[in-house]
Amino acid sequence: MTDTKAAFTLDDTFTAAEATALVDRLRATFRTGHTKPLAWRRTQLTRLRDLLTDNRAAIADALYADLRKNRAEADAMEIDLTIVEIDDYLEHLEEWTTPQPAPVTVPGVP
């Protein structure tokens, strides 16, 4: 797989060089500031939640094939738990990204 923009499937494998190229591209995107706006972050989190919801059966099948996790455990401990975390992130995103003043301490003063 040489196109890092291609969609991955459960059958995809890629080389270390391709993984490095993908990480380099993601880091370059991050440095542009494209990922900073909260609207972009909300969209990504929502899309991840949709991916988990829409592909629940395939994810559970993969967890069974790789780790022998049964469907109930995959749903409860992997998929549903991740969706709950995503919803929590969406609920608190603005609060968690609001700049906070850092306390200023004088060196040596407790």
Q: Is 1 within a domain?
A: no
**Cα 6 to Cα 13, 58, 72, distances in angstroms:** 12, 19, 31
Using the predicted structure, report yes or no on whether residue 35 has a pLDDT greater than 50. Answer: yes
Q: What is the CB-side half-sphere exposure of residue 55 using CA atoms within 13 A?
A: 13
Using the predicted structure, report yes or no on whether residue 94 has a pLDDT greater than 60. Answer: yes
pTM value? 0.73
Q: Is 108 within a domain?
A: no
Of 24-38, 71-85, 91-105, where does mean pLDDT reach its minimum? 91-105
Alpha carbon of residue 49 to chain centroid:
10
pLDDT of residue 1: 41
State the total domains in the chain: 1
Dihedral in degrees, nearest 10, Cα atoms 49, 85, 45, 50: 0
Q: Is 40 within a domain?
A: yes
Query: What domain range is 56 assigned to?
Result: 36-94
